[in-house]
Amino acid sequence: MRRFFLGLLLFAFAGRASEAALLVDDCDGKGLGGHWVSYVDAHSSVSPFPFHFSGEGRQSSPCAHLEYELKAGLQYPYAGMVDSFQAQDLSNYEGVRFWAKGLGIWSCMLPIPATAAEFNHYSAPFNLTSDWKLYEIPFSKFSQAWGTKKPWDPKAVTGVQFSAGGGVGDKGWVSVDDIEFYKKGEEKTDSSPNNPILPGSKVNQEGYLPSGDKYFVLTDGPKVRKGGSFQILDSTGKVAYSGSIPANAFDDSLSTGEKVFRVDFSGLTLPGRYTVSVNGLKSTAFSIAPDVYQSVFKDSLRCFYLIRCGTAIDDPRTGIKHGACHMADAAFKENPDQKGDFTGGWHNAGDYGKWTHMEAISCAWMMWLYEFKPEEMAGLTNDIPESGNGMSDLLNEAKWGLTWLLKMQAPDGGVYHKVDSEDHFCFGKLPDQDNYDSLRRLQGKGAIDAGVFTGVMCQAARVFAPLDPTFAARCKRAAEKAWGWLQKNPNARFHDPDYVDDDPSQEELWALGEMARMSRDPKLEARFEAESLRAPLQPLSWMTPQFFGYMALLFGPETPDAEKQAITQSLTQTCEVLIGTADKSGYWVCENPNDYYWESNESILDKAGTLLFAYHATKERKYQTYALRQLNYILGLNSLETSFVTGHGERAESHPHHWDYASLHIVMPGWVGGGANQYPSGADPALIQLINGGTPPAKCFFDGPGATSWASNEGETVENAALVFDAGFLAKE
């Protein structure tokens, strides 16, 4: 997943002239006398090019008009037009407005001298209609979507720019007229918040376990009778269960802008297919079954086969097909003449980069599921090339990732960070057609990667020992070698502009916990206890994987009882905080209102996994219950009534920001989108439009059409691996 994004895609316009407003261009000869140009990347196309006024203006002819088609070649293709003029002091102005019509998602951008070098101008998106409409955007809604942050300076604005958003294959057009800057008090449009309220009952669209708690959420509104009745209808339309809506609504306005009713129907345990009916309005269908999450588990795991790198894929189930890709991975960044074999692994997110820490965490999730559910997972087959080789396909997939990780270890024991064509990202082309293949480089060697490598290889040595002793021994030697390098280089740093994490202490603690378990060295256990003060137990994230180090010792047979009790206490205390957060949410999700950030769904799935570890350790049912509530949210029981897992649920996300969808328009089932993100930094135009419209935090999510959203709908391997663990743990009652 990219943590920064191309910024030449930014734009701006202004509205009908008034006495106090500063006219930029009426497209009929009046204004600041700026110079218009159209622009486009090397692959896409625009018309007219060079720019000239054309089309039919709002009240006069002509207007500024542009048509575009975004084509494959860049991860973030761009096209647009800009009116450049002498620097204007807009300190006494409130914003920019313009009349426009068109098709597609566009952004208005305001260049200033400080952003000229990187073209990361202040930008605000807007959605077009086919008829002329007045758009009014205050300066406060503009932000930098990528690059080096520069302070906003209204004293030197040098243009108004309009740029097309969207993905490969998108076509659109825009007509713009009467652009101006307006002053405070001169507003002409309604600025009320955008808060879509879906009136139906929100359910887990995949379903519920027979013995688990079951509930739906209903938004308070004029058609909802407090204390009224509801019915659960079976597949024949007969009433299978009925009950009452609570008399008092739950205030969830800070997260969703709603007051809601959480309605329990746990008394219904009979397996079947059902819908909720309230005042004749039916929910999406759902199932009750002891294996209701089995297909989510298998599909989410199978996604890893479909995103493998360095091998040909010809999958009749999905239609995804391409030749072996990135077979030249990769030259060393510091010395391009030096090359090695770094083929394999998984494409991490919507693009083709591969990261050590992402793959290590993903493999760990898979192996922990096998350790907790060995009987259920031992015979698993999942229609992948290794199926039927005598090993669970859960471990077959983990071994694919581990094999690539072993290639990332240097002869001295250190571990490289990534293989990537950093700053050059192909999008819209299949992986074997990556036009930046020759720019892929191996780079970075630091304590973060040595730490996660040590931790996951220790675990692999344990898990694979009875199944593949030769591979297990190889992993053990690699772990010991990486551990030795880490002891000599505990502060080695590599700064990654995509995954910014300069603190290796959490990764080192994962390594320490696993090494203590593997070596059975009491000195290392004592050292873990002392160093854990620097990285306390908390729900796992890609920046804080020390959780796995704690769990290695908690479930280690040689760990002293006193230490196990201390770790269990820390784990349950962490989970009690999660439960308290969930209880404050109308949808029982472990997110505070300010927690809806980039990859919020990953955070939710990680917290569900944390709760399941606590359930496995203590057998206290409440931890499983709250883990299930997080899965409910992911599978559609949320304010958007959207299942964030492709292919699962009647209203599942269908426009993921991912290479398979961009290149083949195929949505592989089982991939989980990033989730709601209320923060504009690095966001795409479609999402910024929602944010700037005052959309509540939990609803800042975009799933097309017309564009894909990298900042809310991309996903990545560690997120999908958490779903594999959660759904697999709960797959059979």
For residues 525-553, average pLDDT? 94
Tokens of 692: 């700037």
User: Exposure pattern of 77-88 as b/e (b: 16+ CB <10 Å)?
Assistant: bbbbbbbebeeb
Question: Angle at the Cα of 277 (from 260 to 271), degrees rounded to 5?
Answer: 105
Domains observed in the chain: 22-182 (2.60.120.430), 207-288 (2.60.40.10), 293-555 (1.50.10.10)
Q: What is the pTM of this model?
A: 0.85
What is the per-residue pLDDT across 2-33, written as a single tens digit (0 to 9) for each? Answer: 433 333 333 333 333 345 799 999 998 899 99
Predicted local confidence at residue 15, as pLDDT: 36
Predicted local confidence at residue 7, as pLDDT: 34
- Radius of gyration of the chain, Cα coordinates, nearest whole angstrom: 27
Question: Angle at the Cα of 13 (from 12 to 16), degrees rounded to 5?
Answer: 165
Tokens of 544: 């804080």
Q: Which residue has the higher pLDDT, 186 or 706?
A: 186
Which run of H or E residues covers position 723? helix 717-729
Which run of H or E residues covers position 591? none
Task: Write the DSSP assignment of 221-268 as a string of letters.
Answer: -TT--TT-EEEEEETTS-EEEEEE--SS-EEEHHHHSEEEEEEE-TT-
pLDDT band, very low/low/confident/very high, at 411 (cuts 50, 70, 90): very high
Residues 6+ away with beta carbon under 8 Å from 238: none
Distance CA 689, CA 712 (A): 12
Contact between 234 and 282 under an 8 Å Cβ cutoff? The reply is no
pLDDT band, very low/low/confident/very high, at 169 (cuts 50, 70, 90): confident
Beta strands 133-138 and 143-144: pairing type? unpaired
Predicted local confidence at residue 596, as pLDDT: 97
Tokens of 90: 């807009």
Predicted local confidence at residue 4, as pLDDT: 33
Give the Å distances, CA to CA, from 81 to 5, 176, 652: 19, 10, 35
Predicted local confidence at residue 9, as pLDDT: 33
What is the per-residue pLDDT across 96-144, written as a single tens digit (0 to 9) for each? Answer: 999 999 988 889 999 999 999 989 999 988 888 889 999 999 998 898 8
pLDDT at 653 over 80: yes
Give the Å distances, CA to CA, from 458 to 115, 506, 523: 47, 16, 17
pLDDT at 732 over 90: no
Task: List residues bridging with 82 in a β-sheet.
Answer: 37, 161
CA dihedral (293, 299, 305, 307) positive or negative: negative
Tokens of 414: 């250190």
Contact between 511 and 553 under an 8 Å Cβ cutoff? The reply is no
Helix axes 469-488, 505-519, angle to 10 degrees: 130
Contact between 348 and 717 under an 8 Å Cβ cutoff? The reply is yes
Predicted local confidence at residue 556, as pLDDT: 97
Predicted local confidence at residue 16, as pLDDT: 36
State the chain's mean pLDDT as an integer. Answer: 92
